[in-house]
Structure 1
């Protein structure tokens, strides 16, 4: 299989926060990979912008070091890196002042796509948008990319959307969630809407329940200050898991185009029922002999912020009435894994008798690691001795199925940045979508404060609090194992 690389039109990309961690780890190495793949036109220009005092050569050295350190494979020979670095420049700017803005505006090319990546804290979004307008860079060809968090609650999300809307139309605002750029997430839509095998079964009549798990082995680490103000609900559920839920549950859009897809996602969020307190389990990881606990990591011995969250969610519409969605995410768990499991109902009648046991078809969509899909099907166990049934996986691991081309699949940031340049908003969140997600999330968080809720502790390296297992057991179900 030969992957097709479609070049984009010439563009200018300005990365505010161009010396920061996200730029060095993800954005710049990703852009280099797109350059090596032949997707970046010769006229493209990338400008780093930050407060650090630095010239163009100093920035190119910073980027060279970042690509060599954080690139996922060795730098190719033949001068590719030097050719990429030649397209880079740097401008020292003050986001809240006037320094550097005239220089930046002079470097921007007229009459081409110009994208501004806000790889900075949300408190600076308004200042950056205002100065781009003030210095004549906010044209109809301009696009801005903003990272989460998109607000801290509904009120701040509305305020943030209003600030950005003062100078940019909604069609120019790209709210990036890297989960939507993952190859497997997009394959979820392809599997649903491109195969007659699945879509007729994708409803409450045939699906028993759906599990969404995003587990991490790391703790909050150096993000303790931010994380303790956010917790698993704001950091993961309100955005990443919510987006996965929408793609799983939405109705088929009329077309695969931005507003058609996002309209259907919005309908899912608005159909979410309020979650009962006994359908939520919050947890904090405990200290071990070698690792500190959550409260030590955030330096607050009385913190009540959750590092783990499991919840049972229902969607009030005809397709999913009565089918529970179980969401689970946490830090310091047994293994790093992200997956969606669609568990189908039992066959209406077993001709093999009770001794054959209970067997179900399960579609597992793995987001990380080893991206791919597995469908568990029931067959006869080989050999004599009667009809004994076993479940076996039909496995499609991308690395196995695509062979060498699997290495050429762009990572999430690569794909999404190129979508910004193309002007394709399909995999980005719309403002009303963000606000609807907060409108559902806020009452849950407020309920914890009103009840003085305290997270359950759990052992680092486990599957989370015991209460999360009971969340499923009460319904006669169980979580898929988080395998180390």
Structure 2
């Protein structure tokens, strides 16, 4: 990409920040050092480095300003790290331009080996960063330093102490130091608060970016625009019109080699308490005062604090048959691989409306979606209630789409009705437009200083307060998962729970993603 295009992109990105209302943005000038801690791990190879490469290709990371540092315990050379990640950034089908860009990008990466709890390695890292900054003619302290912790949460405190002691900008000349921490943020309320306190002693809240990649997904980012920029939805989005809301995550495969890790957390910690709860906030929150990040996050916290305690009779847990066959999983594991949990919000807008959060592995399909089901039409003169209700569905992945299920007249001479849809399928409507990966968007937001799509400390606390009592009962063996067949819909009891909650399943209608 030519320098002219890059400067256009740069100006667009700054204008976009003013639109989103990001506070206290540091101008995007000067030296930028991005440090990927845990550089030899799977997360860095599969997500972090590919996101950085795509940002580089689109002109958001300019070679005259940026340098990327990998840091991990593994003793390898710069070239060995580059070779390890090369296959995740390009392949035999890549275009010549992409391969040329890859060669240039890899030269921006330098590797430093060191432990996560000793000063020696981090002093070496600081020295390399400083050398890079000097080479870019940056005054001491005026540069930008971004530390991405692609690491287990157990080492966050020691790594943050080392960054604070050895690698901060040394003076106040307009530069910054920011850290990005990956989920899981603790295992319950107590451990999350402990982790927040330890990191909070070292860094101010504006310097901490707790990343949940679901908040970077295109359709999730569209929720605020959809809800608050369209007159159509404003009068409908409440308990008078909506009967229930489902937020669903389904995978058609099991733990597949991650059994030991997954067994430590389970489906509620892994998916529901963070990913689905973030989507829940955006669906249920009130309109913020503005699009400034803090105003949006204020409303998310309010709706979390309005959630009623979870009732036992509104929870179904499952574990697929064969899960314990994994040698890394204990023989008597009580960890759920499936969960349906109903949340109730105690406020004027949502009183009495069940929010159904459902996630599972080894099911009969793979998808993530939001399903808003409206109440029955009063005085049903067409006798079409049995065909199903109006639903507004937001398909987050795969095949991103939004569609409204409507009852319409069946074409022909008879007055008969059928369900159809008004459909906005992204693949068809936005042909040739590449939907950015979530990590690309969120890393760029971190560089810009926009915390809108990151989890604030009080938000994290409120989320854990909702689920911790249930999680402790599961951990103590008081709440048992029901066995279900791989490739099924999950436990039959989950469908029965949905029916009791008021969800009406549509029979005879299936949404089919359009093909080009």
| TM-score, scaled to structure 1 | 0.92
Per mean C-alpha deviation after superposition, the further-off stretch among 436-445 and 420-429 is 436-445
Equivalents in 2 of 1:372, 1:61: separation in Å? 37
Deviation at 1:256, TM superposition (A): 1.2
Contact 1:146–1:173 (CA<8 Å) still a contact in 2? yes
Equivalents in 1 of 2:42, 2:445: separation in Å? 22
Return the match for 2:49 from 23, 28, 46.
Answer: 28
Change (3 A) 1:451 1:66: closer
User: Residues 141-194 of structure 1: CA distance to partner in whole angstroms, max 9, x if unpaired?
Assistant: 010000011011111111111111122100110000000000000111111011
Change (3 A) 1:389 1:73: farther
Which structure 2 residues correspond to residues 347-358 of structure 1 after superposition, within 5 A?
A: 347-352=377-382, 354=383, 357-358=386-387
Deviation at 1:294, TM superposition (A): 3.9
Return the match for 2:353 from 312, 316, 323.
Answer: 323
2:480 corresponds to: 454
Contact 2:34–2:145 (CA<8 Å) still a contact in 1? yes
Return the match for 2:73 from 36, 51, 55.
Answer: 51
Which structure 2 residues correspond to residues 369-388 of structure 1 after superposition, within 5 A?
A: 369-385=398-414, 387-388=415-416
Equivalents in 2 of 1:143, 1:203: separation in Å? 39
User: Residues 258-279 of structure 1: CA distance to partner in whole angstroms, max 9, x if unpaired?
Assistant: 1111111111111111111111
Change (3 A) 1:276 1:270: same
Deviation at 1:450, TM superposition (A): 6.2
Deviation at 1:11, TM superposition (A): 1.6
1:338 corresponds to: 368
Change (3 A) 1:138 1:223: farther
Equivalents in 1 of 2:69, 2:178: separation in Å? 15
Return the match for 2:126 from 82, 99, 105.
Answer: 105
Equivalents in 1 of 2:266, 2:67: separation in Å? 38
> Can you give the 5+ residue segments of structure 1 that lack an aligned partner in the other structure?
288-292
Per mean C-alpha deviation after superposition, the further-off stretch among 357-366 and 304-313 is 357-366
Determine helix, strand or coil for the equivalent of 2:145: strand
1:368 corresponds to: 397
Determine helix, strand or coil for the equivalent of 1:400: helix
Change (3 A) 1:123 1:475: closer
1:290 corresponds to: none
Determine helix, strand or coil for the equivalent of 1:32: helix
2:254 corresponds to: 219
Deviation at 1:72, TM superposition (A): 10
> Can you give the 5+ residue segments of structure 2 that lack an aligned partner in the other structure?
14-27, 134-139
Deviation at 1:98, TM superposition (A): 2.7
2:425 corresponds to: 397
Deviation at 1:125, TM superposition (A): 0.8
User: Residues 191-214 of structure 1: CA distance to partner in whole angstroms, max 9, x if unpaired?
Assistant: 101111112211101111101110
Deviation at 1:476, TM superposition (A): 4.4
User: Residues 417-444 of structure 1: CA distance to partner in whole angstroms, max 9, x if unpaired?
Assistant: 0000000000000011111111111111
Return the match for 1:119 from 150, 162, 171.
Answer: 150
2:103 corresponds to: 82
Equivalents in 2 of 1:355, 1:76: separation in Å? 56
1:173 corresponds to: 208
Change (3 A) 1:458 1:388: same
Which structure 2 residues correspond to residues 185-334 of structure 1 after superposition, within 5 A?
A: 185-287=220-322, 293-296=323-326, 298-334=328-364
Equivalents in 2 of 1:78, 1:477: separation in Å? 50
2:68 corresponds to 1:39: no
2:25 corresponds to: none
Contact 2:389–2:506 (CA<8 Å) still a contact in 1? no
1:132 corresponds to: 163
Equivalents in 2 of 1:249, 1:23: separation in Å? 33
Change (3 A) 1:262 1:170: same
2:459 corresponds to: 433
Change (3 A) 1:260 1:75: farther
Equivalents in 1 of 2:95, 2:332: separation in Å? 45
Return the match for 2:115 from 78, 94, 108.
Answer: 94
Contact 1:181–1:413 (CA<8 Å) still a contact in 2? yes
2:79 corresponds to 1:60: no
Equivalents in 2 of 1:83, 1:446: separation in Å? 50
Contact 1:188–1:365 (CA<8 Å) still a contact in 2? no
Deviation at 1:410, TM superposition (A): 1.2
Equivalents in 2 of 1:294, 1:388: separation in Å? 51
Equivalents in 2 of 1:297, 1:433: separation in Å? 37
Deviation at 1:100, TM superposition (A): 2.1
Deviation at 1:412, TM superposition (A): 0.2
Change (3 A) 1:318 1:456: same
2:502 corresponds to 1:467: no
2:468 corresponds to: 442
Determine helix, strand or coil for the equivalent of 1:413: helix
Change (3 A) 1:280 1:479: farther
Contact 2:90–2:102 (CA<8 Å) still a contact in 1? no
